[in-house]
Amino acid sequence: MTGAPRIALVGGTGAVGRTFLELIAQRGFETSSIRLIASARSAGQVLPVPGGAEAVVEDLATCDFAGVDLAFFSAGTPISAEHAPRAAAAGALVVDNTNAFRMDPDSPLVVPQVNGHLLAERPKSGIVANPNCSTIPLARLLKPIQERYGLRRVTVSTYQAASGGGQSGIDELRADTAARLADPAAPAPGNSRFGPGLAFNVVPAIDRFLEHGGTLEEQKMRQESRRILGLDGLDLTATCVRVPVVNGHSEAVVIDTERAADAAEVAALLAGQEEVRVWTEGFPTPRTVTDQPDLVHVGRVRTDPENANRLLLWLVADNLRIGAALNALQIAEKAVSHGIVGGAL
């Protein structure tokens, strides 16, 4: 018998970290203790944590992970690459929300609704990778379609919110919008994380460009979808675009199937999936799904009138929750249920 796990949250002062703490309270996830860990500039802050307690933010550079059962990392790929193995070596099961370990064969890449069975055993590395914020909702819809109709090709265009760039991305969008409302000719923000600036704009460039002309974000969606679905040869092409939305990623998806699909049957199939809402009237948008932020919202389900093997749909999901913190917490819930995470008695 073990007690509730002792948790460390690296990046606990950021947008995803704060969302994670909200979800712990909302979902009633039992913990023995919660430690908040961040950079030296945040160390020393005293912040509330679920259960009515407070935690003093610790400096990641000097913190000791001894006694931690679950460590959540959401502070950037370089930080995870350096410190997540240290936490795992100290005995913690690490759930990492960066690109650092997503292709590591010793670290499973998990969407619990799709391949949660991988959490039946503790990973060799001690690390579970949390997928990309756009990959997670897409994989949750592709899995049942794959099982029913087979997949030949997937083509997706994403419309990703500023919150995908963290709290600083949200702050920049708001400041840039205010500046351009006051002066439409105002220059783009200096050192913008969104290139030419995001206010009243769309930017078809997320993460760095690769030699072949695509971006790392687009490559992540292909590689991660293949790994999560167990389809090494899946033909998936993505174009990832940042849009002036505070929170909530959207995707337009074209799916070429092995067998002819019926739109009504597909809608019913998706509606039967865990935590998925299919809109039969109207369509979801980032502004219309805020009252159900823990669901993948699907609309405009249809087939190509000239090709019954081509399915089209629109999805919207809260990227801070479904695309990051919620998926990470659901990984933890399943890990605890499988008994691969201990806790203090």
- Which residue among 63, 83, 249, 297 is the active-site one? 249
- Which residue among 133, 240, 297, 338 is the active-site one? 133
Q: Is 102 annotated for ligand binding? A: yes
Nearest Cα to Cα of residue 91 among 62, 126, 121, 63: 126
Please confirm, yes or no, whether 133 is among the known catalytic residues: yes
Distance between CA atoms of residues 74 and 14, nearest Å: 8
Q: Is 242 annotated for ligand binding? A: yes
Give the tokens for residue 344.
Answer: 């203090």
Q: Is 16 annotated for ligand binding? A: yes
Please confirm, yes or no, whether 117 is among the known catalytic residues: no
Q: Is 337 annotated for ligand binding? A: no
CA dihedral 205, 324, 157, 162 (to 10 degrees): -50
Q: Is 148 annotated for ligand binding? A: no
- Residues facing residue 48 across a β-bridge: 54
Chain Cα centroid distance, residue 174: 22
What Å distances lie between residue 133 and 97, 169, 224, 225, 245, CA to CA?
A: 9, 15, 11, 12, 15
* Residues sharing a CB contact under 8 Å with residue 118, sequence separation 6 or more, in sequence order: 108, 110
Nearest Cα to Cα of residue 129 among 166, 164, 77, 206: 77
Q: Is 319 annotated for ligand binding? A: yes
Nearest Cα to Cα of residue 215 among 251, 240, 250: 240
Nearest Cα to Cα of residue 297 among 167, 139, 137, 188: 137
Distance between CA atoms of residues 133 and 323, nearest Å: 4
Q: Is 288 annotated for ligand binding? A: no
Distance between CA atoms of residues 178 and 109, nearest Å: 39
Q: Dihedral sign, CA of 91, 96, 101, 103?
A: positive
Nearest Cα to Cα of residue 166 among 317, 9, 319: 319
Q: Is 89 annotated for ligand binding? A: no
Residue type, 31: T
Specify binding-site residues for substrate.
Answer: 160, 242
Specify binding-site residues for phosphate.
Answer: 102
Specify binding-site residues.
Answer: 13-16, 41-42, 102, 160, 163-164, 242, 319
Kindly list the catalytic residues. 133, 249
Specify binding-site residues for NADP(+).
Answer: 13-16, 41-42, 163-164, 319
